[in-house]
Amino acid sequence: MADKFLETYDEVFYSNTDDHFIELLTVLNLKYNKKLISLQYEPIYGGCYYNFYNNKNITECVWNEYTKNILIEKYQYPKDKVINIGNIRFDKIKKVQQSKINVVLTTQGKMYPELVDFFIDSVSKVIKSNLNFYIKPHPLEDSSIIESKIKDSGLKIKLIENESISKTLSYTSVLLSYSSVTILEAINNGILPVVINPYKFKPAGVAYYDHVPYFKTTDELSVFFNNSTNGLNKIKVSSDLVVGDFNKKKFDVAL
């Protein structure tokens, strides 16, 4: 497919979501010498973070200065080949008052099944009764597998289906994920963001990892929930983070 594109078109504009396709495209372009324009596919990552074989015909369109600086400073992209085109606008969600604290895990597709296992194991160790637990599957994920895991656990975890992320965020108190853009949506709406990472590495270029509660084990996460003496609903997230300008802005989570 990449070969056909380059044979047919003088310019190829693509969203860099598939590393293998991008690698093939950039290597093949050494033969065709066509103009490639790559669009960053979400505001967390700068895309593939590489310029295979120093291909000078690739222009990277990114959403923020944070990503632009990473590509230039860390990955030696030419400055004139990285363009900050701005970022998407996140909607402000109208919050619905809740009597309990709603903890929601947003999953990230079939490539990250460990997130659900991590969450379920953590919930099994929580003794506080003022928490409701939910899992919202990624749109491309098979929710029946998650439903089966919840059933096998015997825990009171609700599976959220056929509901927009805006609706889910309207009643969410705490949002958990690994590297999902929903973390940024939570930050933008004053929802406590929590990163869980059952893996041995951090994904490259995730801007918020050093600024939010971050847990690598289920014991750590369950202790976090159990030991929040003032209630998780009283944890304040003060943020001046502007999505698209991570390099200049920061946010702090105060417990």
| Bridge partners, residue 240, by sequence | none
Q: What pLDDT score was predicted for residue 213? A: 83
Helix or strand holding residue 10 (H, E): none
pLDDT grade for 51, boundaries at 50, 70 and 90: low
Return the HEC string of 60-107: EEECCHHHHHHHHHHCCCCHHHEEECCCCCCCCCCCCCCCCEEEEEEC
Q: What pLDDT score was predicted for residue 175? A: 94
Q: Tokens in use for 2?
A: 């990449």
> What tens digit of pLDDT does each residue of 201-211 get?
776 556 666 67
- DSSP code per residue over 16-72: ---HHHHHHHHHHHHHH--EEEEE--SSS--TT---GGG-TTEEEEESSHHHHHIII
Q: What pLDDT score was predicted for residue 244? A: 39
> In the chain, what are the domain boundaries?
2-84, 101-254
pLDDT grade for 148, boundaries at 50, 70 and 90: very high
> What tens digit of pLDDT does each residue of 111-121 get?
788 999 999 99
Q: Provide φ and ψ at 17, rounded to 5°.
A: -100, -15
Q: What pLDDT score was predicted for residue 239? A: 46
CATH number of 101-254: 3.40.50.2000
What does the alpha-carbon distance between residue 47 and residue 25 come to, in Å, rounded to a whole number?
Answer: 14
What does the alpha-carbon distance between residue 194 and residue 216 come to, in Å, rounded to a whole number?
Answer: 11
Specify the pTM.
Answer: 0.70
Are 140 and 107 contacting, i.e. CB atoms less than 8 angstroms apart?
no
Selected residue with higher pLDDT from 68 and 199? 199
Amino acid at 226: N
Task: Choose among 189, 246, 203: nearest CA to 63.
Answer: 246
Q: What pLDDT score was predicted for residue 205? A: 54
**Pairing of β 174-177 and β 192-196:** parallel
